Amino acid sequence: MPVVPALTFLDSPPKDVRGSCALFGDEPFLKRQCLGVLRQAVLTGNDAELSLATIDGEKAAWRDVHDELAMLGLFGAGRRLVVVEDADDFVSASRPALEDYVQRPPGKNVLVLVVSTWPRNTRLYKFFEKSGLSIDCSAPAAPAIVKWLVAQAKKEHRATLDRDAAQQLLDMVGPELGLLDQELAKLASYAGTKAAIDAEMVRKLAGSWRTQTAWEMLDAALAGDAARAVAQLDRLLSSGEHPVAVLGPMGYALRQFAAAARLVDEGERQGKRVRLTDALTQAGVKPFKINAAEAQLRQVGRVRALQLHRRLLAADLDLKGRSQLEPRLILERLIARLSKQAGPTRM
């Protein structure tokens, strides 16, 4: 079937899913939401979560994934859901086997590939169009985000948000859906039983100086100035800002850089020269930010930029309990890896 936008998929979730699915794009909040819907559609009955297998795509071989898919589900109505996270390298290494599998998936088990890119010119993409499900989890355009904010406030937070307030919130926080949802939760809690959020309430309560400080921290990190970035980080955390909320603005920009670097790298592998400006535009960087973003990406360099998706995923998981490190150290480590002393900077 044709590619389905994530917001469309979430608005009309399927009752059942069969075969193979691909979640692609640069918006982790949408990927998490879509993955949650897939889990509910595939894993039903008592102890269904015991039939979920999550595999690290950085380390997985096809035989490992195939073994999980071939295994009989003992729980969850006899089905298994096999999720390969950060699967770009896995897809590249296992492409022929995946092409065969997608055309003839055995049994009732479901494979989910979570990737950053999903090129339209590949045989695998075309096979998914015929017998799989591809969900585009790229950041939506601004009008779609405004519409989503209005619906999300009502559906998840039992609050009324008018379009002017939604636009105001987007302008203040930026197009990071995870952060926007956090701000919605805070606004709905403040509104209380009134549960009506207007533009004036947004101006008073959302974002404030912390949002500006977060972007200043990111600019310093991308300029390679780790000391200044860490100072801004300390200011944010000392004020009580949650570490996951600090990671949000960083993740939005860094995923764009990772996508642009991958476009340049893939173009060169195919014998084509892709201009950095064009790659950044295709990755979603706004026109008025292109010049600054190009300089920042050149400072980060191709090697580090191609690793950003993995670094961000690791930081997100570590902040949510995988690591015993203090949240401050996890974020400082990410900032340090962007500094001028951290490695080569050729783009």
Q: pLDDT for 59-112, tens place per residue?
A: 899 999 999 998 875 555 568 899 999 999 999 999 999 999 998 876 788 999
Question: How is the chain split into domains, by residue range?
Answer: 4-136, 142-206, 214-336
Where residue 209 falls among pLDDT bands split at 50, 70, 90?
A: low
Instruction: Determine the Cα–Cα distance for residues 297 and 276; give it in Å rounded to an integer.
Output: 9
Tell me the mean pLDDT in the region 139-149. Answer: 92
Cβ(152)–Cβ(29) below 8 Å: no
Phi, psi of 106 (to 5 degrees): -85, 140
Count of CA atoms in the C-beta half-sphere (13 A) of 71: 17
- Give, as one character, the DSSP assignment of residue 73: P
CB count in 10 Å sphere of residue 189: 11
Span of 57-71, 159-173, 238-252 with lowest mean pLDDT? 238-252
Where residue 203 falls among pLDDT bands split at 50, 70, 90?
A: confident
Per-residue pLDDT reduced to its tens digit, 191-201:
776 668 888 88
Tell me the mean pLDDT in the region 245-262. Answer: 84
Strands 133-136 and 20-24: parallel
Average pLDDT along the chain: 86
Could you please state the CATH topology (level 3) that the domain comprising 214-336 is classified under: Zinc Finger, Delta Prime; domain 3 (1.20.272)
Q: Is it the case that residue 212 has pLDDT exceeding 90?
A: no
Q: Is it the case that residue 263 has pLDDT exceeding 90?
A: yes
CB count in 10 Å sphere of residue 1: 10
Q: Is it the case that residue 176 has pLDDT exceeding 90?
A: no
Q: Is it the case that residue 47 has pLDDT exceeding 70?
A: no
Where residue 1 falls among pLDDT bands split at 50, 70, 90?
A: confident
AA identity, residue 292: A
Per-residue pLDDT reduced to its tens digit, 295-308:
999 989 999 999 99
The yes or no reply on domain 4-136 and CATH 3.40.50.450 is no
CB count in 10 Å sphere of residue 82: 24
Could you please state the CATH topology (level 3) that the domain comprising 142-206 is classified under: Helicase, Ruva Protein; domain 3 (1.10.8)
Tell me, what's the pLDDT at 345?
Answer: 55
| Between 233 and 179, the higher pLDDT residue | 233
Where residue 30 falls among pLDDT bands split at 50, 70, 90?
A: very high
Tell me the mean pLDDT in the region 165-191. Answer: 83
Tell me, what's the pLDDT at 341?
Answer: 58
Tell me the mean pLDDT in the region 334-339. Answer: 87
Q: Is it the case that residue 225 has pLDDT exceeding 60?
A: yes
DSSP secondary structure letters along 49-109: GGGEEEEETTT--HHHHHHHHHSPPSSTTT--EEEEES-HHHHHHTHHHHHHHHHS--SS-
